Structure 1
Amino acid sequence: MKSIYNVLFVFMLTIGTTYGQAGLQLYAGTSNAMNRDASITPQGQSHTGYHFGLDARLNEGKMFFGGGLEYSSINFVAKQNKSYFSVDHPMTWFKIRIGLGYKLIDITDKINIRAKTYGSINMITKYPEDMIDVPYTRYNSGTAAGVIGLGMDIHSLTLDFEYERGFFNAVHLVKGTEIDFYKLSLGFRI
């Protein structure tokens, strides 16, 4: 009998959560990262790559809660040319993001411009530890960042531009090695 109540409780909680959500957003796009240490990212170069993720918007109105998960793969070695979908020596990240979103302008009932401010816990999941011709080979397993972004919803399509500013050093015991990201994403809401 107790298991029936548990199943009913989980079922009701799931229904309540589903109706309480304003929607899920699946997205993918390009990433452009720069380390603040010039020996890692020389002037005029960047670490390019791609990302994809899933965000949820809860209790959407003029202001809403948001959160999600993101996977990112960028070139470990900075380059001058921008090759977003060909990552030679990948540095991969898994990001947990949470924050607030704001509807700035409702152009129509299906088109709006919005902004977001998120906090992000970023875990470095893979990088080439055995490369010889790079300045550092020992990275921290995690960092954190603040994210600001501007986006547009057109029916179920979403377009977002984000700036992610790193708060903590990416290289183990080396100050001034925070990583910042510029990201452009295209997605859809389900």
Structure 2
Amino acid sequence: MKTNRFYLMIAVMVMTAGAVKAQDTGLTFGLKAGLNYATLPTSFKEVTDKKGKVGYNLGAFARVGKTLYFQPELNYVTFKSAYNYASNTYKPKFNQLNLPLMVGYKLINTAALNLRVSAGPDLSYTLNKAQGPSGFDYKKFNAGGVINAGVDIGSLTIDARYSRGLTKINKDLNEKTGIFNLSVGFKVF
């Protein structure tokens, strides 16, 4: 059922982008790639030696609007973590489809340079089974929020963002996600 909702959101995003393009309000598509640093913050005292790891992301974005804009993205994201629990070390690895839906504002808006800020909901679906303690399963679907700062220099686009899970990715360990991301991309058109 959750997978169907995810696909429905993607379909709505595509239809919205097509409808806005017809209104000629400024539509840009682009591709991006970058690095992530992820942590799984928890208040569970039995989890010790928590360490974040570096991962990567690949994706596509659309930007609809001129000064005030809507920016949906679809990204493939990998990240890892490591921690100790009950005298064992666990190193869960996550491969996710990520759908941030941001609303932003261009602080500087010229043909050669844009300085942008944006924020919005961030939805993720885990494609693999992450390793955790027996009986402590990681959820497939995670909802959170994202804040983003970016700059466009011609067709080059650079973004720095922080995504924070608002739902617990592992209810038993009381874990949420925290991901810092730096990506570089280019506008296709």
Unaligned runs of 5+ in 2: 1-16, 84-90
Distance 2:111 2:142 in 1: 38
Matches within 5 A, 1:137-176: 137-171=136-170, 173-174=171-172, 176=174
Secondary structure in structure 1 of the residue aligned to 2:127: strand
Distance 1:41 1:189 in 2: 43
Residue 25 of structure 1 deviates from its aligned partner by: 1.8
The amino acid across from 2:67 in the alignment is: K
**TM-score scaled to structure 1, two decimals?**
0.74
Q: 2:185 aligns with which of 172, 178, 187?
A: 187
The amino acid across from 1:143 in the alignment is: N
Please name the residue that 1:57 is paired with: 63
RMSD over aligned Cα atoms: 2.7
Structure 2 residue 67 is the aligned partner of structure 1 residue 68: no
**Runs of 4 or more consecutive aligned structure 1 residues displaced over 4 Å after TM superposition:** 13-16, 18-21, 38-41, 134-137
Count of residue pairs brought into register by the alignment: 162
Distance 2:48 2:178 in 1: 11
Point out the structure with max Rg over C-alpha: 1
Identify if the C-alpha distance between structure 1 residues 151 and 101 changes in structure 2 by more than 3 Å, giving closer, same or farther: same
Deviations 1:51-106 (A, max 9, x none): 011110112x211111011110112536xxxxxxxxx9741011122120110123
Deviations 1:112-155 (A, max 9, x none): 211111211111111344x6xx5875101111111001000000
Q: 2:21 aligns with which of 12, 17, 21?
A: 17
Greater strand proportion: 2
Please name the residue that 1:103 is paired with: 106
Structure 2 residue 116 is the aligned partner of structure 1 residue 114: yes
